Structure 1
Amino acid sequence: MRHLFILLISASVLISCKNKAITKTESDVYYTCSMDPQVVEQKPGKCPICKMDLTPVKKSNGDKKDEIQLSDQQIQLGNIQTDTIRNGTIGDQLVLTASLNFDQMKTSSVSSRVMGRVEKLYFKNIGDYVSKGAALYAIYSEDLNNAKQEYLLALEQKKTFATETAIDFEQLLQSAKNKLLLWGVSESQINELARTKKASPTTTFYSTASGYITSMDIREGDYAMEGGTIVKMADLSTLWAEAQVYTSQLAAIDLNSTATVQLPDIDGKEIKGRIEFVNPEINPDTRINLIRVSIPNTGNELKPGMSAYVVLKSRQRQSLTLPIDAVIRDGKGATVWIRTSGQSFKSKMVQVGLESDDRIEIKSGLTAGDVVVISGAYLLHSEYVFKKGADPMSGHNH
């Protein structure tokens, strides 16, 4: 009986040791699929999803709960690539939708100095170019004709009575001349009037500026009021590229930076310009502001109304940068994966800054020399969630 009792105890101890050995084996090795990492089995076999052979993965004693280990096959199939983060230069770039418009600093209008009927317009089409000093319109005006007659009368009186009376006819003549000048009659026209002694019923007025006609507010036969606009003109040697910018983007705009205006209608032509104006008033409905970039219009190749893009770049500065695809961003923040050893990876939260082309600035969370996953970061994130059953950033403070 005693021998039987000893035999039972020995068998019990042996079974216990065997179970422990099995438990240890199960905890040290598991089997997963490199294509479907969510599949985790305790014994070899085939993946129930893709039917590939399961890959054995051995857990190292130093495996930490906030890290994940991959097999060589998983790293190869997942295209996990790393790079060492280092200091580089980065500058912000902002692309805004714009359209070309007249440079309002180089627009002008020609108004009638007197009331009368417009007998002739020398330019009748929008877009006609008018040079400074060119005849613009001819007007019939009773007031102007009376002023001409007053001037001729003063000339005649000065010639006839200058030596016979104490009246200062020179002053009377100058007063009549000043009235004509005030109403826009030129010196050469007054001299011609004095020479011929004949007053034409119509008076021709000349352009005081050069430019392209942008609007015509009157037609032949219409009556022009004193001060009424005859034509409006614009000098197209420079144009404005007017771009819309959201309020949230204003802080990123460097008013001293160089602006590049891209013109898709002219084979993507690019012209350098400068920011001339930022509207201080924001539209409360759209939260959109307006900036204007002045650009030269060499050869008048550009036309108001053309579509354009305004590219604004800030100054380059030294900073840690990574490819944009290396950063995983969600509502909780931004994270990257770093290699802690040969096959071990760990997620770290970072603070990002400027983006330029395919690079992004890392303001904090990493130091120069960290080995960062630049390809396959999203696969690592998914692998961690499947294997650990939790978000890799759940234990971080935000």
Structure 2
Amino acid sequence: MSDEQIKLAQIELAQVGPATIARRLVVPGSIVPNADLIAHVSVKLSGTVAELRKNIGDDVFKDEVIAVLESREVADAKSEYLAARLTHDLAQELANRDKTLWDGRAIPEQQFLRSRNAAAQSGMKVNIARQKLMALGLADNEIAALPDASEARLRRQDVRAPISGRVVERKVELGAAVGRDNLETELFVIVDLSRVWVDLSVASSDLPLIREGQPVKISARGLSESTTGKIIFVSPLVDKDTRTTRVVTEIQNADRTWRPGSFVTAAIALSERNVPVVVPTTAIQKLEGRPVVFVRTKDGFEKRDVVLGQKEDQALEILSGLTPGETVAVTNTFSLKAELSKPKDED
């Protein structure tokens, strides 16, 4: 067969060579969010919701403003800080003036000590007011911008996203009262799905084969692609009812293919070995009960008897009959088998 004939017959070719074959334990599992990538956005003060800038399903970035609150409590705390800062600036100016006068022996030392002590005390009050603002959720840059803020901004508090991710829950409405006294304190739940966990259930009898760091292949019905991850946690506890143990695998999920709540199948690699020749299972046909492959030659294809070894998914180890570097047919091999099985007088 020529290259053109092979193309018309839709026969795909592949060069055989070495690969890794693993012995795997197959167990059920489910996708769950990575517990380290879940953020519950709560308020630290009492107030009302003035703005909701994100809704359920929206993507957010770390430190992005997702809501704005109006609060008398934050207005009082900001005013207290500004007053303390103004008092401290004046006290510090008086202390500096008195030091200059005392250095020139124009005033008694006691007066200088009193002004210096007043400056120190006012500085402590500024720090206390600053700590109160930080406890209410203000960042350093927000505190630094307070002297130039408008009066309307003094009673408003920005709520920022602690992580990048997606809003999966919004628990308040516009104008809702939030904060203390049995009011709702949680505004949003944000989940970063760029990495997710796979919760696996492993029978207690298989636990001696399982260890952290083992590679795991994850697949799901309805999804053509699969992915790989590693075991990050093996629970020391066995469920008394099911006699299974929780095993957690982490996988990458940048394109959000793997949705939390989905059921999956996990194949845990118990042992791996490199073999010299591996072919896709689609390359194998049977003639007279023996496995064969069709090797590409300059004139077409040559039937080759092979001895099969270990199988993994859609790959088969070839123990003998092929050498690395040879090219074989891997699709539509049935047509080649049919052609070979024709009686000679039909040619």
**In the alignment, what sits opposite 2:165?**
211
SS at match of 1:136: strand
**In the alignment, what sits opposite 2:33?**
102
- 8 Å CA contact retained: 2:50, 2:69: yes
Q: Give CA-to-partner distance per residue, 1:240-283, whole Å, 9 cap, x none.
A: 1212222233234354432111133321x121211111222222
SS at match of 2:251: strand
**In the alignment, what sits opposite 2:210?**
253
**In the alignment, what sits opposite 1:176?**
129
Determine if the alignment matches structure 1 residue 263 to structure 2 residue 220: yes
Deviation at 1:176, TM superposition (A): 1.9
**In the alignment, what sits opposite 1:115?**
46
Larger relative contact order, structure 1 or 2 (CA cutoff 8 Å, min sep 6): 2
Deviation at 1:92, TM superposition (A): 4.1
Count of aligned positions? 232
Q: Which of 272, 276, 286 pairs up with 2:232?
A: 276
Question: What is the identity percentage for the equivalent residue pairs of Structure 1 and Structure 2?
Answer: 22
SS at match of 1:264: coil
Q: Give CA-to-partner distance per residue, 1:57-109, whole Å, 9 cap, x none.
A: xxxxxxxxxxxxxxxxxxxxxxxxxxxxxxxxx96422112221111122222
- 8 Å CA contact retained: 2:67, 2:160: yes
**In the alignment, what sits opposite 2:248?**
292
Name structure 1 gaps, 5 residues minimum: 1-89, 318-355, 359-398
Q: Give CA-to-partner distance per residue, 1:342-394, whole Å, 9 cap, x none.
A: xxxxxxxxxxxxxx759xxxxxxxxxxxxxxxxxxxxxxxxxxxxxxxxxxxx
Name structure 2 gaps, 5 residues minimum: 1-20, 96-114, 274-309, 313-347
Greater alpha carbon shift after TM alignment, 270-279 vs 220-229: 220-229
Q: How does the TM-score come out when normalised to structure 1?
A: 0.52
CA distance in 1, matches of 2:192, 2:176: 27
- 8 Å CA contact retained: 1:265, 1:307: no
Deviation at 1:194, TM superposition (A): 0.6
CA distance in 2, matches of 1:192, 1:135: 16
Q: Which contiguous aligned blocks of 4+ residues in structure 1 show a shift greater than 6 angstroms?
A: none
CA RMSD of aligned residues (A): 3.0
Q: How does the TM-score come out when normalised to structure 2?
A: 0.59
Determine if the alignment matches structure 1 residue 201 to structure 2 residue 132: no
**In the alignment, what sits opposite 1:234?**
191
SS at match of 2:190: strand
CA distance in 1, matches of 2:146, 2:272: 67
- 8 Å CA contact retained: 2:211, 2:231: no
The residue identity in structure 2 corresponding to 1:294 is E
- 8 Å CA contact retained: 2:201, 2:247: yes
Determine if the alignment matches structure 1 residue 144 to structure 2 residue 74: yes
**In the alignment, what sits opposite 2:141?**
188
* Residues 293 and 145 (structure 1), Cα distance of their counterparts in 2 relative to 1, 3 Å cut: same
